[in-house]
Amino acid sequence: MRRWRLLPALLCLLLLCACGSPAAPGASYCRVVLEEGEGFTCGDYALTVASGEDASFLIRCEDGYAVTGADCGEYTLAPAANGGAVLTIPRVRYSTVVSLTVIHNDTVIRYDINDGSGAPAVEVPVTPSHLRWNTATDLFDRPGWTQTCWNTRADGSGVSVGLGSRTEAAEGLTLYAQWSRWSPAELFRWESGPDGASVTGYLGAEDVITVPAELGGLPVRRIAADAFLNVGCAAVILPDTLYALEDGAFRGCALSELYLFDNIRSIGDPAFEGCEELATLHLNAVEAPVYSGTYFDTFQDKFDRLLSLRDKKKIVLFAGSSVRFGYDSAALDAAFPEYEIVNMGVFAYTSAMPQMDIILTCMGEGDILLHSPEFDVAEFQFCASGDIEYRFFNMMESNYDALALLDLRRYGAVFTPLGKYLTVKDPMAKKSYALSPSAFDEDGNPVSSPSYNEYGDYVVYRPNASSALPVYGTPVLYTVAAFPKETYLDPLNRMYQRFLEKGTRVYYTYSPRNRLALSDASTPEARAELDRYLRENLRVPIITELEDSLWSGVYLYGTDNHLSTEGAAIHTGQIIAALKAAMGEETPAG
């Protein structure tokens, strides 16, 4: 759809202000006017730039609209963090009026309030930037009820999807709101405060407790210490009005499921002290995402692919960003045509354990996991900590439903890092689920071609370095002492065992590292001892050589463990050879 509408005042100004009308001695200026149109807005529709300079317009698109072109000859159009686009006209030489070509996306999800009123479904446009689509968040309000999720069937017997989480892409999709009626107000003790009501006690015996969003006409903002002390129930549904859970709020409570919204301001593990059966967290989105379009967001795009291949044979590559930068998965695909390839590497400086638990849900008999833990963050990468680190939630933001795949009883800290994540993201710039990481490079700059391929590899060209010297000043320990068996290898073996029990073959490969970025203690003898130690104590085969993982810094890009484009190709060739050798050894003769 396209609509032409001129700004009279701006056009008059354009006629009066031709290129060559200087605003300063010796300067020549041009006036560039962006014509108004349907489906977008712009902060400044008219720019004055020096002759020969670029003119850039920051455009914000309305839901369902996208800018696809401009009628000004040479230009670039790049995605913007606000969900719109940046139109840049290079080297302006004359005053001009520019009009945009704007299309309306007819792809929609239909949302049914499902409250028995028979109200018509609401259609909300979807930008198909991902394999699956993100759902709407605060679309409906039903007094006396809290929305817990969407469902593909009105009676809730279909597939449930959290608010803001992802659903399978399907033309004509209708999602039905699922509601839980507030527990009766008389079951709660509460006090009024300066910002609303604080729940201080619960007097009921319900199996599912739905805390009201208001009591006595006041919004429920807090749940006080011991408010649900030793209460027995299956699930608790908290309202989106809630600001804080005080320490001990659910002390000793027997709940197993918790429904929570991501606009809560204060939450920590002490609120759930003694909740030994709390296994499942359903986190619904209220806040707009802030990590959309970043490398953190790639986890859910990769998980979309993994889900789509759940029932197919696959090779899954996993560790941190060294995996994201380290593979040419198309070459792996060609070498192993009977397998699908999924690159699940994202970010090493956060908990690997919950990531592996999520990956495990899609793995089965005959699948292969290639695991390449980075040594510089061994605590996270070897599952040494049972806590969830707060930046793990960065990767969950565009599909909080992935959190519900975790059994929280396997973890230590959960809600304290969640609280930190919510605190950190609160002041950050709000974005849109429509943004795709493929539209940006590693540093967040718009790119003209996708930065990630279908497998999940980062494919922006990365030249070899001009120097072999390390980028960072933190040498990494390659010694036995740095990897104690009880705290590092045993937890990793327990994780491996879970994959093996599902019939998945697991192979360990050493991750790439600049050979000059090792500690002084990491001598050739120490490295050889470490290699022997790992081979003797890990439950899965190590199929690469440690020394082959120590690279000249020339083949690394910007860090000490991100391979250049040429380095990734060489590394992939090594892995193909190693994997074929390992699989050959496991194939029975004849």
Domain boundaries, the chain: 8-104, 108-181, 185-284, 295-398+426-585
Burial 554-572 (b: 16+ CB within 10 A, else e): bbbbebbbbbbbebbeebb
pLDDT value for 444: 87
Name the percent of the chain lying above pLDDT 90: 83
Q: What is the spatial distance between Cα 501 and Cα 365, in angstroms, rounded to a whole number?
A: 9
Alpha-carbon gap, residue 243 to 240, rounded angstroms = 8
* Measured CA distances, 527 to 63, 476, 486, 492, 536 (Å): 55, 12, 20, 20, 14
Buried b (16+ CB within 10 A) or exposed e, 428-447: eeebbbbbbbbbbebeeebb
When pLDDT is averaged across residues 366-377 and rounded to a whole number, the result is 97
Confidence of residue 586 (pLDDT cuts 50, 70, 90): low
Mean of pLDDT values over 319-346: 98
Instruction: Name the residue among 107, 106, 40, 28 with its Cα closest to residue 70.
Output: 40
Q: Which CATH superfamily is domain 185-284 in?
A: Ribonuclease Inhibitor (3.80.10.10)
Dump pLDDT digits (tens) for 515-550. Answer: 999 999 999 999 999 999 999 999 999 999 999 999
pLDDT at 6 over 60: no
Q: How far apart are CA 56 and CA 87, in angstroms?
A: 5
Residue type present at position 24: A
With H, G, I as helix, E, B as strand and everything else as coil, classify residue 270.
Answer: helix
pLDDT for residue 27: 60
Least confident piece of the model among 80-84, 108-112, 319-323, 339-343: 80-84
Q: Kindly state the DSSP code that residue 146 receives in the 8-state scheme.
A: E
Q: What is the CATH number of domain 295-398+426-585?
A: 3.40.50.1110
- pLDDT tens readout for residues 400-446: 999 999 999 999 999 999 999 999 999 998 888 988 999 889 998 88
Instruction: Answer whether residue 5 shows pLDDT above 60.
Output: no
78-116 residue pLDDT tens: 777 666 788 999 999 999 999 998 877 778 999 999 999
Whole-angstrom distance, CA of residue 301 vs CA of residue 303 = 5
Give residue-wise pLDDT tens across range 556-567.
Answer: 999 999 999 999
What is the pLDDT at residue 69?
79
Q: What is the pLDDT of residue 107?
A: 86
Residue 120 makes CB contacts below 8 A (sequence gap 6+) with: none
Cα–Cα distance, 33 to 19 (Å, whole number)? 13
| Helix, strand, or coil (residue 244) | strand
Asked if residue 176 has pLDDT above 90, the reply is yes
Residue 297's pLDDT is 97
The predicted pLDDT at position 32 comes to: 96
pLDDT of residue 126: 87
Do the domains spanning 185-284 and 295-398+426-585 agree at the CATH topology level? no
pLDDT of residue 26: 52
- Average the pLDDT over 570-581 and give the result: 98
Q: Are strands 132-134 and 166-168 parallel, antiparallel or unpaired?
A: antiparallel
CB atoms within 10 A of CB 146: 22
Q: Give mean pLDDT, residues 70-79.
A: 81
How does strand 235-237 pair with strand 65-70? unpaired
Nearest to 323 by CA among 457, 478, 451, 463: 457
| pLDDT of res. 23 | 38
pLDDT of 137-162, one tens digit each?
989 999 999 999 999 999 999 999 99
pLDDT-derived band at 15 (thresholds 50, 70, 90) equals very low
Using one digit for the tens of pLDDT, what is the confidence trace for 40-61? 999 899 999 999 999 999 998 8
Cα(212)–Cα(188) distance, integer angstroms = 9
pTM score: 0.87
